[in-house]
Amino acid sequence: MAAGMMAERGLPKVAFIGTGGTIASLGRDALDILDYGATGRRLEAGGILAAVPELASVAAMVPVPFQAVPSPAIGFAEWRALVGLCARLAADHPDLAVIGHGTATLEETAYALSLTLTVDLPVVLVGSQRPMSALSTDAKLNLVAAVRTAAAPESRGRGVLVVLNDEIQAAREVTKTSVARLQTFRTPDFGVLGQVDGDHVRYYRRSERAHAPGTPFDIRDLTALPRVDIAYGYADADGTAVRAFRAAGARGLVAAGLAPGMVPPGEAEALEAAAAAGIVVVMSTRAGSGVVPLSTRLRERGILSADNLTPQKARILLALALTVTAEPEAVARLFTTY
Annotated active-site residue 175? The verdict is no
Alpha helix ranges (H) inside 19-169: 45-50, 76-92, 106-116, 139-151
Q: If you ran DSSP here, which 8-state letter would residue 83 be given?
A: H
> Taking Cα atoms as reference points, which of 296, 297, 334, 298 lies closest to residue 318?
334
Predicted local confidence at residue 3, as pLDDT: 40
Predicted local confidence at residue 4, as pLDDT: 40
Question: What's the predicted TM-score (pTM) here?
Answer: 0.95
The domain limits of the chain are 3-203, 228-337
Strand partners, 170: 161
Q: Which of 19, 22, 184, 215 is catalytic?
A: 22
For each successive 10 residues of the chain (338 residues), what is the average pLDDT? 47 95 97 96 96 96 92 97 95 84 98 96 96 97 97 95 98 97 96 97 97 97 98 98 98 98 97 98 97 97 98 98 98 98
Sign of CA dihedral 218, 220, 223, 225: positive
| C-alpha of 69 from chain center | 16
Distance, CA of 119 to CA of 122 (rounded, Å): 9
Predicted local confidence at residue 96, as pLDDT: 83
Three-state SS at 306: coil
Q: How far is CA 44 from CA 23, 48, 127, 241, 259, in A?
A: 10, 6, 14, 39, 42
Three-state SS at 151: helix
Distance, CA of 127 to CA of 132 (rounded, Å): 10
Architecture of domain 228-337: 3-Layer(aba) Sandwich (3.40)
Q: If you ran DSSP here, which 8-state letter would residue 258 be given?
A: B
Superfamily name and number for 3-203: L-asparaginase, N-terminal domain (3.40.50.1170)
> Taking Cα atoms as reference points, which of 233, 217, 236 lies closest to residue 225?
217
End-to-end CA distance of the chain: 42
Predicted local confidence at residue 247, as pLDDT: 98
Give, for 267, the enclosing helix (H) or strand (E): helix 265-276
- Side-chain-side CA neighbours of 11 within 13 Å: the count stands at 21
Backbone angles phi, psi at 256, to 5 degrees: -85, 80
Degrees, nearest 5: CA angle 204-209-210? 120
Backbone angles phi, psi at 200, to 5 degrees: -100, 120
